[in-house]
Amino acid sequence: MIELKNYAISRRLLLKSGFLTIALSIFSRGELFAEVVPLETIALLQEDLFPLAKELESRSDLYMLIILSHSKIAKKDKKFIRNGVKWLNEEALSEYKKIYTKLSSKQRQSLLQKISKERWGEHFIYTILQYTLESLLGDPIYGINKNQKGWEWLEHKSGYPRPKSAFL
């Protein structure tokens, strides 16, 4: 458990968390097809799943770095996120011969419809939505929910006292 005073998502954290920023190799029929940076796939997926989060500057993609290095998130859950990115890109490849970030918006939505019918896909969409909502509606101390815009959107009044440090 690490607790930093006035924690905000920093470049340091970005560099530290290789998990989402180091390229992932996607293979097609045994051959290396593409290298994807998981964070790029996730950022676009978050926009597709909940466009408002970006519009309200929730910094949802950077929040995923907190999640991937969080002391209380189980290893299996972290692994699932990385696998989800891989499987989503493999699906994109088999449907459209392109990785997710190269698809048109329409193609991405129909791909999401398709995977939502599968167990892993539904769970993956749910997982990413969950963390996106956390970044939209969690306390700004985590470097998210900028100027409490997420709370304002839902006319939410936070509880007091607010946290003085982030729980990581």
Q: Does 139 bind another protein (CB under 8 A)?
A: yes
Which residues touch 20 (CB under 8 Å, ≥6 apart)?
37, 38, 39, 42, 64, 65, 68, 81, 82
Q: Does 40 bind another protein (CB under 8 A)?
A: no
Q: Which is nearer to another protein, 26 or 141 (CB)?
A: 141
Site track 20-39 with another protein (rule: CB under 8 A), x = hit: --------------------
Query: Reduced to 3 states, what is the DSSP secondary structure of residue 145?
Result: coil
User: How many angstroms separate the CA atoms of 144 and 135, rounded?
Assistant: 5
Q: Does 69 bind another protein (CB under 8 A)?
A: no
Which listed range, 4-12, 21-29, 44-52, 85-93, lies at the site for another protein (CB under 8 A)? 44-52
Beta-strand (E) ranges in 1-127?
Answer: 3-5, 24-28, 31-36
Work out how close the CB of 2 gets to another protein at its nearest, in angstroms, rounded to a whole number: 12
Q: Does 80 bind another protein (CB under 8 A)?
A: no
